[in-house]
Chain A
Amino acid sequence: MSRPLIHRKPGRLALPPTFLFLAGAFAAAWLLVSLFGRGQFLSAANITNIFIRSVALGIVAVGQSFTILGGSIDLSVAHLISVTAVMSSFIMQGDSANIARAVAVVVAIGLGVGLLNGLIITKLRVNALIATLGTGLFMQGLLSTSFQNFAGAVAPEFEVFAYGTWGPVPIPVAVLLVVAALGVLVMHRTRFGAYLYAVGGNREVARLSGLRTDRVLIGAHVIASLSAVLTGLFIAARLGAGAPWVGQDGVYDLESIAAVVVGGTALAGGRGGVLGTLAGVLIFSIMDAMFNQLGTGAFLKQVFRGLIIIAAVASYSFRSKEEVS
């Protein structure tokens, strides 16, 4: 392997090629909606709408970027989102006095799940896909045994997280942007971020160079779990309560992986970044908004979404000479 450990020049933040794809998607949507759709594509309301659509998937996808960049993966996020949404609204019971306690509990759960995932993968040497599939099934099992329907309610003050505005900017969009900025900061400006690129590029070489690769991977999984918790809190705020199926219904596990990879991060790890992921999520939201305005049914939208995932990744990979499977 002659691949360098850290691809980026330190201190420089190159715009990933995904942004070309994003611009293309935006232009195509604009054109198609103007020609055949109803309503304006370039209205402030529509653009805001596109961003709001991106919040739930965007936050968890930022976290997923860390695991994939490190050469790992997290399939448990959708189930953790359900656990968070249910537990937070169950603990709050509509009372604002309980907000702090509810948030503390779900953050603790997130930390625990992230640690557990990381430890199973690094110490027990279980393949990440199987490990997180297992912890996800286990969490979902416990959750669905204890709750069959919407449980409790979030406090009215907590719904600000989903519906409040901050000047012209909706609070959830501001949260997404802050999360993405934090992600960029951690990935490109901290030692942990640099180590993560090294571990994702080649774990064995990173270990032989003296990195504590296990700790780096555990850190990545904790970040992914915490981001899933934040998405779970957002969904609870938006729905007013959590139900044990909200995470799976949103297919946040596979969709977050798709967003990361469409965003230009290599599935094998070592290349990519958070900004690309944000672009990946926005591409999905733009396509959704476009199909809505064109009056395309939900199922045709799904057909296209799958093909877009393949096409986007193919557009970066087809020139590569590497053998993939």
Chain B
Amino acid sequence: MSDGHPTRVQEAIRGTAGGRWREVLRRLPPIFVVLLAICVWISFLNPRFATVPGIMSFLMRAAPAAILAAGQLFVIVSGGFDLSVGSLITLVVLGSSMLIGGDPANTWWVIAVMFLIGIAVGVFNGAVTSWLRVPSFITTLGMLVTLKGFALLWTGGAPRGFLPNNFRVFGRSRVTGIPGLEQVPYAVIILVVTAVAAGYLLHRTGWGKQLIALGDNPRAARLSGVPTARVRIGAFIASSTSAVIAGILLGGFSGVSTNVGDGQELSAISATVLGGAKLLGGRGTMAGAVAGALTLQALFTLLNLLGWPKPLRDGLQGLIIIAAVAYTAWREQRR
């Protein structure tokens, strides 16, 4: 409980210059140090990475995963899981190409429909979990199976149609003419706006605080007047909405495919955990979750540069996640 009320020893340490640095380092979530180290390593192997365009294209590739992690964090801090986001991404990509049917004039209402579908999925997940008391792991696992089946049913099991350019700009194009930055990908702007909005919602609003309280101790939260169902449904809506955004970006970036969302839910959960969130709720920061997703992407970039084949990269990801969580657990116990 030393977070809000520093002890006298900590005050004393903070007084000295070296101590202040140590204090800053101690408070900095370790994920930022890891992210920085990996980025420095990448820059040595590929100097173009450390330029503005290099960073922009890295952020563009990482944007969908980072947005997904930001959304997932709402559910994670509330003590739940949202496994349905990967299938929702697939549904957004396949459904958009079906509904647009090649006519760019349809793009805008189709995007609106996709957000409505996302909100509906979030409300369903949250309502079933809150009122029917099905653990969210199971609710969203069921939705994972159902939504993927629905997406494949819609297209007959194969990727059909294509996404017009005015849909794909968000995932693959850049805004030009910004002073000092030359080109900024739409995806990066969307990532920054989403992350800031999500950070505000989680850390600066009453709803965010109720969410963390709910994850920390559901019974205590309910007894102290938190409308648990409404608060939790909000978290699932946030998560589904982030999946819709990620789906629009991924559809733009890589086009129509039936496995675009596979496994994204577990990556998103891993990213939040790498960023210091506690599974089963009560703790987590938005900056950490986004940094966690960026770290996973940076790690892939690094191993790719080192010439590791893709399966081995996935394998190493497993070890890194375990090591990170074990380190957090060890640090916590030592305190």
Interface of A with B (CB < 8 Å)? 120, 124-127, 129-131, 133-145, 254, 257-258, 261, 267-268, 297-310, 313-314, 317-318, 320, 322-325
Contact, CB under 8 Å: A257 / B141: yes
B90 within 8 A of A: no
Contact among A125, A130, A135 with B270 in the assembled complex (CB-CB below 8 Å): A130
Q: Which of B138, B312, B318, B329 has the most CB of A within 10 A?
A: B318
Contact, CB under 8 Å: B149 / A133: no
Contact among B157, B279, B326 with A299 in the assembled complex (CB-CB below 8 Å): B157
Residue of B whose beta carbon sits closest to that of A73: B137
Residue of B whose beta carbon sits closest to that of A321: B133
What are 10 A-B residue pairs whose CB atoms fall within 8 Å in the complex?
A127-B280, A141-B312, A141-B317, A142-B312, A254-B83, A267-B137, A301-B149, A302-B145, A302-B146, A306-B144
Contact, CB under 8 Å: A306 / B315: no
Contacts of A267 in B (CB 8 A): 135, 137-138
Contact, CB under 8 Å: B326 / A120: yes
Q: Apart from A135-B318, A304-B149, A310-B128, list 11 A-B contacts with CB within 8 A.
A: A133-B321, A134-B319, A299-B153, A302-B146, A303-B150, A306-B141, A310-B134, A317-B134, A318-B133, A320-B133, A325-B135
Contact, CB under 8 Å: B133 / A134: no
Determine chain B's interface SS by DSSP, over half rule.
helix
Q: Which of A130, A133, A320 has the most CB of B within 10 A?
A: A130
CB proximity of B256 to chain A, nearest CB, Å: 17
State in angstroms the CA–CA spacing of A307 and B141 once bound together: 10
Contacts of A134 in B (CB 8 A): 318-319, 321-322
State in angstroms the CA–CA spacing of A129 and B150 once bound together: 27
Q: Which of A141, A309, A313 has the most CB of B within 10 A?
A: A141
Contacts of A257 in B (CB 8 A): 137, 141
Contact among B79, B319, B333 with A325 in the assembled complex (CB-CB below 8 Å): B79
Contact, CB under 8 Å: A300 / B333: no
B120 within 8 A of A: no
Contact, CB under 8 Å: B322 / A306: no
Contact, CB under 8 Å: A141 / B326: no
Q: Chain B 252-293, CB within 8 Å of chain A: the 1/0 string?
A: 000000000000001001100100000111000000000000
Contact, CB under 8 Å: B142 / A306: yes
Contact, CB under 8 Å: B325 / A299: no
Determine chain A's interface SS by DSSP, over half rule.
helix
Q: Chain B 225-253, CB within 8 Å of chain A: the 1/0 string?
A: 00010001000000000000000000000
4 nearest CB pairs, A to B: A141-B315, A302-B149, A306-B146, A137-B318
Contact among B131, B138, B215, B228 with A310 in the assembled complex (CB-CB below 8 Å): B138
CB proximity of B317 to chain A, nearest CB, Å: 6
B222 within 8 A of A: yes
B143 within 8 A of A: yes
Contact among A126, A139, A141, A145 with B329 in the assembled complex (CB-CB below 8 Å): A126
Q: Which of B149, B219, B316 has the most CB of A within 10 A?
A: B149
Contact, CB under 8 Å: B153 / A300: yes
State in angstroms the CA–CA spacing of A258 and B135 once bound together: 12
B55-89 residues with Cβ-Cβ distance < 8 A to A are: 78-80, 83
State in angstroms the CA–CA spacing of A303 and B139 once bound together: 13
Contacts known (A125-B333, A300-B153, A310-B128); A145 close to B326, Cβ less than 8 A: no
B313 within 8 A of A: yes
Contact, CB under 8 Å: B80 / A325: yes
Q: Chain B 114-150, CB within 8 Å of chain A: the 1/0 string?
A: 0000000000000011011111111101111111111
Residue of A whose beta carbon sits closest to that of B315: A141
Contacts of A301 in B (CB 8 A): 149
Contact, CB under 8 Å: A307 / B313: no
Contact, CB under 8 Å: A141 / B279: no
State in angstroms the CA–CA spacing of A304 and B318 once bound together: 32
Contacts of A297 in B (CB 8 A): 153
Contacts known (A120-B326, A258-B141, A261-B138); A303 close to B318, Cβ less than 8 A: no
Contacts known (A130-B270, A141-B313, A144-B311); A125 close to B149, Cβ less than 8 A: no
CB proximity of A257 to chain B, nearest CB, Å: 7
State in angstroms the CA–CA spacing of A135 and B314 once bound together: 11
Contacts known (A130-B270, A306-B143, A306-B146); A324 close to B129, Cβ less than 8 A: yes
Contacts of B281 in A (CB 8 A): 325
Contacts of B135 in A (CB 8 A): 261, 267-268, 313, 317, 324-325
Contact, CB under 8 Å: B318 / A322: no
Contact, CB under 8 Å: A306 / B147: yes
Contact, CB under 8 Å: B326 / A124: yes
State in angstroms the CA–CA spacing of A320 and B309 once bound together: 49
CB proximity of B287 to chain A, nearest CB, Å: 20
State in angstroms the CA–CA spacing of A70 and B309 once bound together: 37
Contacts of A300 in B (CB 8 A): 149, 153
Contact among A130, A133, A140, A325 with B315 in the assembled complex (CB-CB below 8 Å): A140
State in angstroms the CA–CA spacing of A142 and B129 once bound together: 37
CB proximity of A265 to chain B, nearest CB, Å: 11
State in angstroms the CA–CA spacing of A145 and B138 once bound together: 32
Contact, CB under 8 Å: A303 / B146: yes
Residue of A whose beta carbon sits closest to that of B311: A144
Contact, CB under 8 Å: A310 / B148: no
State in angstroms the CA–CA spacing of A138 and B134 once bound together: 31
Contacts known (A126-B322, A323-B219); A310 close to B149, Cβ less than 8 A: no
B214 within 8 A of A: yes
B95 within 8 A of A: no
State in angstroms the CA–CA spacing of A110 and B201 once bound together: 45
Contact, CB under 8 Å: B132 / A317: yes
Contacts of B232 in A (CB 8 A): 325
B152 within 8 A of A: yes
State in angstroms the CA–CA spacing of A318 and B146 once bound together: 21
